[in-house]
Structure formats: structure tokens, C-alpha cells
Structure 1
Amino acid sequence: MVRTRSLLHPTAFVVAVVAVAAALVVPAASGAAPITVAAAIAQQNGATATVRGYVVGQPTATSTVVRSAFPSDYALALADSPSQTATGQMLYVQVTSAFRAQWGLKSNPGLLGRQVDVTGVLGAYFAHPGLTSTSAFAFAGGAPTTTTTTGATTTTTTTTAVPDVDAYYSAALGKSGAALKTALHQIIRTQTKLSYDQVWEALKVTDQDPDNAANVILLYSGRSQGKTANGGNADDWNREHVWAKSHGDFGTATGPGTDVHHLRPEDVSVNANRGNKDFDAGGSAAAEAPGNYTDADSWEPRNAVKGDVARMLFYMAVRYEGDDGFADLELNDSVANGTAPYHGRLSLLRQWHAQDPPDAFEKRRNQVIYDRFQRNRNPFIDHPEWVAAIWG
């Protein structure tokens, strides 16, 4: 190696050495590669850094991290492995107020197990190695959510990385019939599964009224109702299984019984009236649900959600194929399916799908489920043409 003599003044040389040393030990928060959780735990030096890790729970005390029934949106625990249970291998992250609605676990339980990048200050939190004063959050490799404070005004800017839908479905493109159904099943069966309790909070986000953030839109009745008016009392809203949970006898089991792609808010009385009926046209006007009709064995939803109902059932018939401990769910042309793992009427569902294509509300719902809760998509919202490709 050829060495050249430095012409720097001795003072300048010292400054240069200090600058190089600082660059080696202080991680950059923006533009630099994220550091691991292990590195963040080892560098509790007050520097600003971007840390990449898996969300493994919420810290509630120095040595306590909960993985369910999250009490607030104020903190996350990150680890280098999604299965980590040792708190000594976790970094406790403060979720500052600007980020709690989108990145807090109480509001977004589907974050559990997700890999994220968080920018903040490396320092103790809950008397434990932590990351405080957080200023940016992103899913690993995605665009961040950041805050800017000018005087007394704080502005939050969210850049959402829109997933490449064709990349998500790459293994299914160009296929049809049974081959397409199989390929889609393999894609969408990879998901984060919610508990039945977590479904309450998910529906408050997925079905939010676009004109009133304090409300949800009820599926059949179309009524806008307060998010907190949920439960089992008359005129409350509860969790409607569009694929009736008795059709395959899966109940409220984690999996088909908690899959938000087919669970929707609905008035308690209307939900009971629909019961476990198959879908068909005709009947008498349904009480408290204008535009809906019912008889002894079937339910016809209002025109605005006929396609939504059809696509939820198409999703269920592809997602649950009997290979994960539950029945193989299939569509048929019957309205007398009872507890068999079938739902009908397929011929009419195809018509409803065609006459009521995906709208902005349904597309947003699909995206929110993917981004914040289950990490899988309803392919028949993204590619409506696949209904005909599978079912003729």
C-alpha cells in the first residue's frame, strides 16, 4: 500500500480523527441502515438511531411485557426474533403521542409479530434499555411516519408505502380454475391471526365511517353508529360473521371465527335476524335494515353491499381449505346448508359481485386489514375478474 504524508495542521488532524470516531459510534437516524435490537441495547448512549425489530408485546414494567389485552398505546417491545420471550433481549420503545393511533398496540393489535423500523433516542425506558422520544415509525423497508414541530404546532406526515399488488399475487398470475384457487390459498393463508376480543378494536378501524371518525358503518342496516356502542344489548352493534360460523362449525375459534375479512359490525337485532341463513333473493322486508329482505332460510342484503357480501364469501372459500385444522369451506347453490361447511347461493353471489363492484370503502378496508391487522388480502377485491376464473 502506498502511503502519503498528511498535510493537515495538527489541530485539524485531531478534529478529523474525532469526527471519524463519532461517525463510527453514533448511528444516523435518517438514511442510515437500521441497527439491530441487540446493538441498540448495547448502545444506550443518548444517540439518535433507527432500530429494526419485531413487535413482541407491550412493556408494562421493567421485567413485564404483555402479548394480549394491551392496556394502552404508549409503548412497544422490540426483539430481533418474533418469538423472543426474554425481556433482557428486548428493547422498550416509547410511542409518542403523535404515533399512538397508528402504532399503539391497543389500537393496532395486528402489529404483534410485525417487523418495524423506529427512530428515536437510545436511552432507558421503564428502567430498561429503550428507545425514547420517537420521531419516525415504518414497517421494515417501508416509508416512515414522521412528525415535525414548529413552535407550538406539531405536524404529522404519513407516507404509506402502497404494496405492489401484482408482486403479492405473483404466484397466481396467469392461472385459472383450480390452479388459481390453490395458488391464491397459498398466498392468503399466511396471515396474522387475531383473538375474538381483538376483533372489536379491529372493526372500529376497518369499518370506520369516512364522514365521522367516531363511528362505524353497520353492514346490513347501513347505519352510522358510535364505535363505543358495541356489545350485546339492544341497539348495540356486535360482530357479524358473514360466513355464518355454524356453516362448518368453527364458532369464534381463532382463524375463520376471527378473520376480519368476513367479520363486520352490525346491529344486535339485525344480526340475530340474519342468523345463519344462506344468501338468496326475496322475502319480507327485514326489520331495522332498510333494503334487506329475509325469509325462513335466506337473507338478501341491501344493494350497496351485495358485492361486498359475495366477495367476503369468495375469500372464505379460498382461504379455508381444510389444511389448518378447520373444515374445507366451499360455496354451492343451496340455501339449506345448515351446519355443513358450505354457503350459498353461489349463482346469485356471482351476480351480486358483478352488479356491485368494489368501491372505495371496500378497497380501503382491504388495505387496512393488510397494513394493520392480518397482513393478507382479499384477492377478489384486488382482482374481481378472478371470480369468473374460478367459479365460471
Structure 2
Amino acid sequence: MRTRSTIKRSLATLGVLALATTPAAFGQGAYASPHPTVAQAAAAAPLTVAQAIGTQTSAVQPVRGYIVGQPTATTTVVRSGFPNDYAIALADSPSETSTAKMLYVQLPSALRAAWGLKSHPGNLGKQVDATGALSAYFSHPGMKDASSIAATGSTDPGDPGDPPPSDPGSYYDGTGGLSGAALKAKLHEIISKQTVLSYDGVWDALKDTDQDPNNSNNVIEVYSGTSTPKSNNGGGVDNWNREHVWAKSHGDFGTTPGPGTDVHHLRPEDVSVNADRGNLDFDNGGGAVDQCPGCASDSDSWQPRDAVKGDVARMIFYMAVRYDGTDAFADLEVNDKVNNGTAPNIGKVSVLKQWSQEDPPDAFEQRRNEVIFTTWQHNRNPFIDHPEWVASIF
């Protein structure tokens, strides 16, 4: 008759010593597996990405991180133009750009339809819990044979019900103690690091950034405040289209990728209201505007409804900092005039500063800034995060 020790040696010879045995099998304490089972892993607290990178032992573990792109080579992760649904990269920060701080997650066929970035580019920036074997993928720290991936829910930056985000930590490093022109120059350096969208890509972005918090099938039109179906976009009467808050003729950049496609100043608006605004500068006063309650206009200026006056001002200030003439586009600047025409200027700065102070950032505007940062352009509007910088720079 074989003893327990003989049985254990036989199991080891067969390479299955890792199988747990029970007290009933041997009449005393169980033999513990060196690696957790899938069920045990699912019940464990998730590792950070940094911990997972340092735990490449083939153990099955849950890992929590933000989806920051698709790995296509050992040191290459793409954030747009995704070639397939085969893999995602996770990081501890949604703005991480160093592949050394990313975990490459191989997606089995069962998870590709839900989590592959070619099929679902909107997953970029979401925080998820992924469970699988921590093993190199693309000769890079990774996870293979993922058994499950689930959004963490409350921390998903794309959820309109989330609380407003806090200041994004290290994003504004280097601005301490700066003011005026020096602060403006540093902010330009920071926010110029962005993903540039195509003009067609703006449609999808706006359906995400301007989603109605009370109806996920709709967007909110910026000037009128109307909630309208996302599918109602186009160029016909009563459609919504892409309003350039910094009128594209002010600097003559049109719809060129860059200022012409920057969603920090592009918003949904009714086609007719968009036409009424045209390329007018911003100022107080004027007559009522059809289909735009609370708006006013005259021959040389446009006044939005009170609820978005500060939003409009902060979009204009963003554009004046982001596009300073150093990247093949006109140097956009605010001034205290109207009737700026095709000059790369918009006014009135005195009125815009007043609007920004009277209408501080609300939850909708803060969420919009966060979604642009985490999912679309990966840069921020600093005047939403720090409205006090308006007075310092302008």
C-alpha cells in the first residue's frame, strides 16, 4: 500500500503537485497550491499595475488599471487607429505614456467584442479590473488568458453620474509660482501634448463629451440647452452640427485637424442657431434669438444663455493658450473688441472674464474636461481646473 508521501512524490513526477488536496483525502491538513485558482483570484483584492509588472510568475491575479491604448510591439502602444481587438494596455494613471509602466493584456476571443479597442474605442480611459495569468506578452510584462474584465463603475470617467473630478495631480507640474506670460507659456507647453482628431472623429467625440446626464441617448446643445438625440446630427434643418465656439474664420483655420477639430471648443448646436451665431464675437446685449432661449445677438456680437457664459469664456481662453502661432497655425489671441472678422482674434476679453467669474465650472463642464482628457485628446482645459488662472493670464 502506498503512503501519503509516495502519492505526493508520484503527483510531483506527473507535474501536478500544484493541485490542492483535501483533509478528507489524507486524513489531515490540506496541501496548499502555490498559485491561486481563478475563483480565489477573483475574490482577492486587485493588484495595481505596478505590482502586476513586478509579479510576472504566471499566477492568476486580478489587476486594476486604466485602459491607455493597444500594444502593437514591445515598446509601442497606440491610442488611436486601433488595428484589431487583440489586446489592451493598462496603467495606474489614465494619462500614462511610458510603456515601462503599462501591463499588456492579451484578450481571448470571448472578451474581444466587449473590450477590444477597434470595436469600442470609447473604452480608452476606463478603469477596469482584469483577471488572468501574469505572464509576458509581446516580450513585455503582461497578462495572458484573461478570464474576466469588468469596469469598476464609480471611477469610470465616462459615466455622467460620476462626481466632478478633482484636480489631476501632476498634470500641471511646473506651474507653481508662475503668473502672467510665464504661466501662459508653461500651460501652452503642457496642453499642446494631445491626440489630434479628424473632423469626422469629432462627431463621435461630441456624442460622448456632451452627453445628456439625464438621457444617455441625447446630447445637450451648448447655446440653446436643448437635449436632442445623438443620432440627429447632420446639416439639415433641426439637426445638430459642430459649432466652433472660437469661430473658425477668426484665424482662417477652417476644419483643419488641430484648432479646427479641437473638441475643447467644439460643441453640439442646432444648425439654425449655429448659423445665427456665425462668426460673431462675444459681448452682452442684443435681441432675442429664435430657438435659443436666453441668447441674444446684434450685428457684431453674440451672448449665450447665462448657464454657459463661463463655459464659453473658458473655451476661448483655452484656445488662446493652446494655439500661439508655433505649430503652423495662427496665433489666436483675445482682445477687447468686436468685429474682428478674419483676424485671429476674438473679443471682448473684459466681458469673457466677467462671464468666467459669474459662471464658475459646473459638474457638466468638469465631466466634459475629464472625458476629453481620458478618452479623446488626452489634454485638459486648465481654466476649468483652475479658473483663478484667468485673471493671472488675461
Both proteins in one fold, TM over 0.5 = yes
TM-fit CA distance, 1:48: 7.3
TM-fit CA distance, 1:119: 2.8
Tell me the distance in 2 between the aligned counterparts of 1:244 and 1:132.
Answer: 47
**TM-score, normalized by length of structure 1?**
0.72
Equivalent residue, structure 2, for 1:305: 308
1:318 to 314, 321, 338: 321
> Counterpart of 1:364 in 2: which secondary structure?
helix
| Count of residue pairs brought into register by the alignment | 338
Given the superposition, is the C-alpha separation of residues 385 and 280 from structure 1 closer, same or farther in structure 2, using an over 3 Å criterion? Answer: same
Q: Does 1:119 align with 2:115?
A: no
Q: Does 1:75 align with 2:85?
A: yes
For residues 291-336 of structure 1, give each alpha carbon's deviation from its aligned partner in whole angstroms, at most 9, with x where no partner exists: 1111222111111111000000001111111222211111111112
> Counterpart of 1:75 in 2: which secondary structure?
coil
Q: For residue 292 of structure 1, what is the amino acid of its counterpart?
A: C
Q: Does 1:351 align with 2:354?
A: yes
Show structure 1 runs of 5+ residues with no match.
Answer: 1-7, 59-64, 123-128, 137-144, 147-156
Given the superposition, is the C-alpha separation of residues 206 and 213 from structure 1 closer, same or farther in structure 2, using an over 3 Å criterion? Answer: same
For residues 15-73 of structure 1, give each alpha carbon's deviation from its aligned partner in whole angstroms, at most 9, with x where no partner exists: 6894399759x9x784374469xx99xx9x9x778699963499xxxxxx996499xxx
1:31 to 47, 52, 74: 47
Equivalent residue, structure 1, for 2:225: 222
Tell me the distance in 1 between the aligned counterparts of 2:211 and 2:110.
Answer: 23
Given the superposition, is the C-alpha separation of residues 134 and 328 from structure 1 closer, same or farther in structure 2, using an over 3 Å criterion? Answer: farther
Q: For residue 130 of structure 2, what is the amino acid of its counterpart?
A: T
2:149 to 112, 135, 144: 135
> Counterpart of 2:219 in 1: which secondary structure?
strand
Equivalent residue, structure 2, for 1:267: 270
Equivalent residue, structure 2, for 1:5: none
Equivalent residue, structure 2, for 1:62: none
> Counterpart of 1:336 in 2: which secondary structure?
coil
Given the superposition, is the C-alpha separation of residues 217 and 191 from structure 1 closer, same or farther in structure 2, using an over 3 Å criterion? Answer: same
Tell me the distance in 2 between the aligned counterparts of 1:198 and 1:95.
Answer: 28
> Percent sequence identity over matched residues?
52
Tell me the distance in 1 between the aligned counterparts of 2:381 and 2:322.
Answer: 9
Tell me the distance in 1 between the aligned counterparts of 2:123 and 2:183.
Answer: 28
Given the superposition, is the C-alpha separation of residues 160 and 213 from structure 1 closer, same or farther in structure 2, using an over 3 Å criterion? Answer: closer
Show structure 2 runs of 5+ residues with no match.
Answer: 19-31, 73-77, 91-96, 134-142, 158-164
Equivalent residue, structure 2, for 1:378: 381
Tell me the distance in 1 between the aligned counterparts of 2:341 and 2:385.
Answer: 31
> Counterpart of 1:202 in 2: which secondary structure?
helix
> Counterpart of 1:264 in 2: which secondary structure?
strand
Q: For residue 212 of structure 2, what is the amino acid of its counterpart?
A: D
1:204 to 207, 211, 215: 207
Equivalent residue, structure 2, for 1:140: none
- Give the conservation status (yes or no) of the 8 Å contact 2:192–2:379: yes
Q: For residue 69 of structure 2, what is the amino acid of its counterpart?
A: V
Equivalent residue, structure 2, for 1:291: 294
Q: For residue 325 of structure 2, what is the amino acid of its counterpart?
A: G
Q: For residue 241 of structure 1, what is the amino acid of its counterpart?
A: H
1:191 to 190, 194, 199: 194
Q: For residue 237 of structure 1, what is the amino acid of its counterpart?
A: W
- Give the conservation status (yes or no) of the 8 Å contact 1:332–1:346: yes
Equivalent residue, structure 2, for 1:55: 69
TM-fit CA distance, 1:14: 6.9
Equivalent residue, structure 2, for 1:174: 177
Tell me the distance in 2 between the aligned counterparts of 1:357 and 1:372.
Answer: 24
Equivalent residue, structure 1, for 2:160: none
For residues 166-224 of structure 1, give each alpha carbon's deviation from its aligned partner in whole angstroms, at most 9, with x where no partner exists: 42112112211001101111111111221111111111111111111111110111111
**TM-score, normalized by length of structure 2?**
0.72
- Give the conservation status (yes or no) of the 8 Å contact 2:248–2:255: yes
Q: For residue 321 of structure 1, what is the amino acid of its counterpart?
A: D
Q: For residue 119 of structure 1, what is the amino acid of its counterpart?
A: A
> Counterpart of 2:285 in 1: which secondary structure?
coil
Tell me the distance in 1 between the aligned counterparts of 2:303 and 2:337.
Answer: 14
Q: Does 1:159 align with 2:143?
A: no
> Counterpart of 1:257 in 2: which secondary structure?
helix
Tell me the distance in 1 between the aligned counterparts of 2:281 and 2:109.
Answer: 47
For residues 213-237 of structure 1, give each alpha carbon's deviation from its aligned partner in whole angstroms, at most 9, with x where no partner exists: 1111101111110111111110000
- Give the alignment's Cα RMSD to 1 decimal: 4.2
Q: For residue 135 of structure 1, what is the amino acid of its counterpart?
A: I
Equivalent residue, structure 1, for 2:161: none
For residues 133-191 of structure 1, give each alpha carbon's deviation from its aligned partner in whole angstroms, at most 9, with x where no partner exists: 5424xxxxxxxx25xxxxxxxxxx44348675242112112211001101111111111
Q: For residue 365 of structure 1, what is the amino acid of its counterpart?
A: R
Given the superposition, is the C-alpha separation of residues 380 and 233 from structure 1 closer, same or farther in structure 2, using an over 3 Å criterion? Answer: same
TM-fit CA distance, 1:288: 1.0
Given the superposition, is the C-alpha separation of residues 338 and 99 from structure 1 closer, same or farther in structure 2, using an over 3 Å criterion? Answer: same
TM-fit CA distance, 1:92: 5.3
